[in-house]
Amino acid sequence: MNKIAQIFQTLEYGPAPESAQPALDWIKAHDGVFGHFINGAWTKPGKTFSSDNPATGESLAQVSEGSAEDVDKAVKAARAAFKSWSALSGYERAKYLYAIARLVQKHSRLFAVLESLDNGKPIRESRDIDIPLVARHFYHHAGWAQHRDREFPGAVPYGVCGQIIPWNFPLLMLAWKIAPALAAGNTVVLKPAEFTSLTALLFAEICEKAGLPKGVVNIVTGFGETGQAIVAHPDIDKIAFTGSTDVGKAIRAATAGTGKGLSLELGGKSPYIVFEDADIDSAIEGLVDAIWFNQGQVCCAGSRLLVQESIEERFIAKLKLRMSKLRVGDPLDKAIDIGALVAPVQVERVRELMQKGIEEGGSVYEPDIDLPAGGCFLKPALITDVSPANTVVAEEIFGPVLVVMSFRTPEEAVALANNTRYGLAATIWSENINLALDIAPKIKAGVVWINGTNNFDAAVGFGGYKESGFGREGGKEGMGVYLKPAWEKDLKPAPAAKASPAKPANPLDASQGIDQTAKMYIGGKQARPDSGYSRPVFGPAGNLVGEAGEGNRKDIRNAVEAARAALGWGTSSAHNRAQILYFLAENLQYRRAEFAARIKEQTGEKGEAEVDAAIERLFAFAGWADKYDGAVHNPPLRAIAAAMVEPIGVLAILAPQARPLLGSVALLAPALAMGNPVVLVPSEKSPLSMTDFYQVLETSDVPSGVVNVVTGDSAVLAKTLAEHDGIDAIWCVGDAATSTMVEKASVGNLKQTWTSRGLNYDLSDTEKFEGDYFLRRATQVKNVWVPYGA
């Protein structure tokens, strides 16, 4: 048989190699060794390390290990450049971003080859997905640069941004970081991951070619220590990180109390849900993309297959057949499906996790296919016989390994899908659009793909819920994390609170003349403090005006439990929430005199104005409840992406000392309007306005558990709340020390935090606080992708 006839017989692919030469030539033109790109110039290479090709183990180039001094030099350059860069018109910045987009396109093949060489990903992916998305990102953000002031009135860039990225999509993650930062008017110091520095260095040259002013983009290469030096640098205004959840948590802790902006895009263990009425062949192809795209080294990989029991057997059989057709091979071969993992340590990590899966009772299936000799290659793998408690089901494997579980009902699918500390993405397959759109909002994840998977676009935000991080990349939300209100930088320290009169030595003396202790309010009921103790509340002259419960850990636990039971508040209709907030305002109006008197009693100030302001604030957020909503994006493929605004979950609020009523209501109202049940710690000094408030809550149809009030020592309760895994976000008005403590203690489940850091946020300011400032912090955006076309 001749060769062609033979090929027809077997339908085997032949190799279709892409030449590595242009990329190797580029490396050679740099003598195979690179310094950092700082202030528009290359530094002399210092201590270097090798960047390897994981498909062969060969060294590609030497890159420099950034020291703290290198980072400092880069930050100084970025700081110096910030002044003129941020002063450019949006149109001027847009032209630079456009020039970068064009140059990336022009050199796209070189970028793709270099990326595949350094990372091991198939050229098919770097050429058709990574690099086109990079160009798309710069195009898209050119527009944001120009329209920034129109779309974000009153906002200014942070300043110098420190950006640390992982190795799985080296250039794409760079684009996701640099494009919005520059569009917003920031300058950057970026560190690529140690395994994959090369395309970032090629990008530096593109910046030179585009004539980008010196110091606007600085690239410092190195390991985790270099990243740490960026995080620790005092003159960096914002940190953006993508990588593992552990490092993300370390960065959260390291930045606590510094006032640095922070966005984190971390790991995932995303469910891939297949219902019995799915188009099975499409779902199988989708699954190949979900878990074997980029060797499974994808933060949003569909790594947990949840398949309906009725089709499980058939689906798994088809999947195994499909797996046996996957080709693992040279990343530069255009006809392979799976390339090399990034480095030997990653292969080792994946193997260890698989071994653990076997030890815990899982069965591993790997198809009988060839692997190239040497290099970081692994077969695609499937693990069955696992349950939610297994390590391989709970942990991010970050390799070509899928775990499988089944479900019977949609409710069970949702429960399994959400049974994870992560919340990055989810995929749903069903031909029943009603079912798919019913499930999508119930899944706690930042991105949901219906009948498709791994779709990305610059216009559509991407980012996580829960321990997958916070902040978004792409879309308007993504621009938002690189901007802040101009007034924030003018905030002055809050005036020192007047010291409360000392507690009397004999506790019995405290309650003289007071026969009733104000109750706390938990789960829709008045509650006595678990401690059995109360604390005196003094008036302005040091006179005793009442007593409030001394809340403790147990009270917080009860309050959190009640709030979690009330999470349905978030799925009640916005119209319903608006009505209840209006009703609250109305009922507060009825009691205006009584609340005003209570304020006067505690603060000595005439209370009417504060009550009126609180009523107005409730009205304002009643008005927002059904208006602060999402968008529908139209990405360049046959799909729409619905950007849905969702509540974060249970919110803890530590209200300011001043303005015992308005201080709480100003924070409570936006949280409630957006659907978050709240655990509120009212003013420590003057808690009685909010303990009175339960009567207003009760007469206003606020469902029980939606607002819980625990009185006591703010700093102590703040710590308990910040450490509690049942709290999803925490807002704290407090001094610098308390704010730092809250941010540090939030690390456990990566709560979203807002703290006042001892600064004077005047919550009575309607201009600043009746709008989106807190609405944005009370919500997270979920993008639901829905394909169309028959």
What track of x and - describes contact with ligand NAI for positions 239 through 258 (by CB under 6 A)?
A: ---xxx--x--xx-------
- The DSSP H or E segment spanning 146 is helix 131-151
The residue among 164 and 556 lying less far from ligand NAI, judged by its C-beta, is 164
Taking the complex as a whole, the smallest distance from the CB of residue 416 to ligand NAI amounts, in Å, to: 21
Query: Quick one: which segment of 162-170, 357-365, 489-497, 760-768 binds ligand NAI (CB under 6 A)?
Result: 162-170
Question: In 3D, which of 406, 388, 396 has the Cα closest to residue 301?
Answer: 396
**Looking at 70, 118, 337, 728, which residue binds Mg ion (CB under 5 A)?**
118
Which residue in the shown chain puts its C-beta closest to ligand NAI? Answer: 227
Taking the complex as a whole, the smallest distance from the CB of residue 267 to ligand NAI amounts, in Å, to: 4
- Choose from Mg ion, ligand NAI, none: what does 125 bind? Cβ within 5-8 Å by kind: none
Question: In 3D, which of 142, 259, 119, 141 has the Cα closest to residue 192?
Answer: 119
The Cα angle at residue 127 between residues 124 and 132, in degrees rounded to 5: 135
Query: Quick one: which segment of 1-9, 166-174, 547-555, 601-609 binds ligand NAI (CB under 6 A)?
Result: 166-174
Taking the complex as a whole, the smallest distance from the CB of residue 460 to ligand NAI amounts, in Å, to: 18
d(CA 777, CA 308): 36
- Choose from ligand NAI, Mg ion, none: what does 118 bind? Cβ within 5-8 Å by kind: Mg ion
What track of x and - describes contact with Mg ion for positions 627 through 656 (by CB under 5 A)?
A: ------------------------------
What track of x and - describes contact with Mg ion for positions 187 through 206 (by CB under 5 A)?
A: --------x-----------
By CB under 6 A, residue 193 contacts ligand NAI: yes
**Looking at 164, 460, 518, 729, which residue binds ligand NAI (CB under 6 A)?**
164
By CB under 5 A, residue 785 contacts Mg ion: no
Taking the complex as a whole, the smallest distance from the CB of residue 454 to Mg ion amounts, in Å, to: 23
Q: 789 in the Ramachandran plot: left (φ > 0), alpha (ψ -120 to 50) or beta?
A: left
d(CA 619, CA 613): 10
The residue among 118 and 770 lying less far from Mg ion, judged by its C-beta, is 118
Which residues does 396 contact at the CB level (< 8 Å), separation at least 6? 244, 245, 267, 268, 269, 299, 303, 422
By CB under 6 A, residue 376 contacts ligand NAI: no
Identify the burial level of 25 via C-beta atoms within 10 angstroms of its C-beta, where 0-12 means exposed, 13-18 middle and 19 or more buried: exposed
The one catalytic residue in 18, 194, 265, 312 is 265
d(CA 553, CA 728): 17
Question: In 3D, which of 387, 342, 402, 326 has the Cα closest to residue 116?
Answer: 342
Active site residue 698: no
Residue with tokens 């966005």: 263
Residue with tokens 């909002």: 441
Total residues interacting with ligand NAI, rule: CB under 6 A:
26
The residue among 195 and 569 lying less far from Mg ion, judged by its C-beta, is 195
Determine phi and psi for 641, rounding to 5 degrees: -125, 115
By CB under 6 A, residue 228 contacts ligand NAI: yes
By CB under 6 A, residue 191 contacts ligand NAI: yes
**Looking at 40, 267, 331, 400, which residue binds ligand NAI (CB under 6 A)?**
267
Taking the complex as a whole, the smallest distance from the CB of residue 216 to ligand NAI amounts, in Å, to: 21
d(CA 124, CA 106): 18
By CB under 6 A, residue 337 contacts ligand NAI: no
The residue among 397 and 652 lying less far from ligand NAI, judged by its C-beta, is 397
The one catalytic residue in 18, 125, 207, 299 is 299
Residue 129 gets which letter from DSSP? Answer: I
The residue among 164 and 729 lying less far from ligand NAI, judged by its C-beta, is 164
Report the site for ligand NAI in 272-301 (rule: CB under 6 A): 299
Taking the complex as a whole, the smallest distance from the CB of residue 299 to ligand NAI amounts, in Å, to: 3
Q: Which residues in 362-434 belong to E strands, given as ranges?
A: 363-365, 381-384, 401-407, 425-429
d(CA 660, CA 711): 12
Taking the complex as a whole, the smallest distance from the CB of residue 192 to ligand NAI amounts, in Å, to: 6
Supply 375's token pair.
């290099």
Side chain identity at residue 264, one-letter code: L
Identify the burial level of 490 via C-beta atoms within 10 angstroms of its C-beta, where 0-12 means exposed, 13-18 middle and 19 or more buried: exposed
Taking the complex as a whole, the smallest distance from the CB of residue 255 to ligand NAI amounts, in Å, to: 10
Residue spans of alpha helices (H) in 193-308: 198-209, 224-232, 245-255, 280-292
The residue among 193 and 578 lying less far from ligand NAI, judged by its C-beta, is 193
The residue among 186 and 346 lying less far from ligand NAI, judged by its C-beta, is 346
Taking the complex as a whole, the smallest distance from the CB of residue 242 to ligand NAI amounts, in Å, to: 5
Total residues interacting with Mg ion, rule: CB under 5 A:
4
In order, the DSSP letters of 489-509 are: GGPPBPPPPPPPPPPPSSHHH
Distance set, CA 486 to CA 88, 257, 449, 725 (Å): 17, 20, 36, 33
Taking the complex as a whole, the smallest distance from the CB of residue 424 to ligand NAI amounts, in Å, to: 8
Supply 767's token pair.
């201009």
Taking the complex as a whole, the smallest distance from the CB of residue 376 to Mg ion amounts, in Å, to: 10
d(CA 228, CA 116): 27
Report the site for ligand NAI in 542-601 (rule: CB under 6 A): none
d(CA 29, CA 24): 9
**Looking at 182, 198, 231, 393, which residue binds ligand NAI (CB under 6 A)?**
231
Q: Which residues in 597-751 belong to E strands, given as ranges?
A: 631-633, 639-647, 651-654, 678-681, 707-709, 729-732
Which residues does 52 contact at the CB level (< 8 Å), separation at least 6? 58, 59, 60, 118, 195, 343
The residue among 137 and 598 lying less far from ligand NAI, judged by its C-beta, is 137
The Cα angle at residue 515 between residues 514 and 521, in degrees rounded to 5: 100
By CB under 6 A, residue 422 contacts ligand NAI: no
- Choose from ligand NAI, Mg ion, none: what does 742 bind? Cβ within 5-8 Å by kind: none
Query: Quick one: which segment of 219-227, 255-263, 376-384, 651-659 binds ligand NAI (CB under 6 A)?
Result: 219-227
Q: Are 383 and 354 in contact (CB under 8 A)?
A: yes
Report the site for ligand NAI in 346-365 (rule: CB under 6 A): 346, 349
The residue among 376 and 671 lying less far from ligand NAI, judged by its C-beta, is 376
The residue among 118 and 467 lying less far from Mg ion, judged by its C-beta, is 118
Residue 322: other Cβ atoms inside 10 A: 17
Query: Quick one: which segment of 38-46, 93-101, 164-172, 431-439 binds ligand NAI (CB under 6 A)?
Result: 164-172
**Looking at 23, 39, 51, 98, which residue binds Mg ion (CB under 5 A)?**
51
- Choose from ligand NAI, Mg ion, none: what does 194 bind? Cβ within 5-8 Å by kind: ligand NAI
Q: Are 692 and 595 in contact (CB under 8 A)?
A: yes
Taking the complex as a whole, the smallest distance from the CB of residue 230 to Mg ion amounts, in Å, to: 21
Query: Quick one: which segment of 220-228, 446-454, 724-732, 771-779 binds ligand NAI (CB under 6 A)?
Result: 220-228
d(CA 655, CA 661): 9
- Choose from Mg ion, ligand NAI, none: what does 380 bind? Cβ within 5-8 Å by kind: none
Q: Are 292 and 326 in contact (CB under 8 A)?
A: yes
d(CA 389, CA 416): 11
Active site residue 299: yes
Query: Quick one: which segment of 118-126, 258-266, 316-324, 655-663 binds Mg ion (CB under 5 A)?
Result: 118-126
Active-site residue list: 265, 299
Residues that bind Mg ion (CB under 5 A): 51-52, 118, 195
Residues that bind ligand NAI (CB under 6 A): 164-168, 191, 193-194, 223-224, 227-228, 231, 242-244, 247, 250-251, 266-267, 299, 346, 349, 396, 398
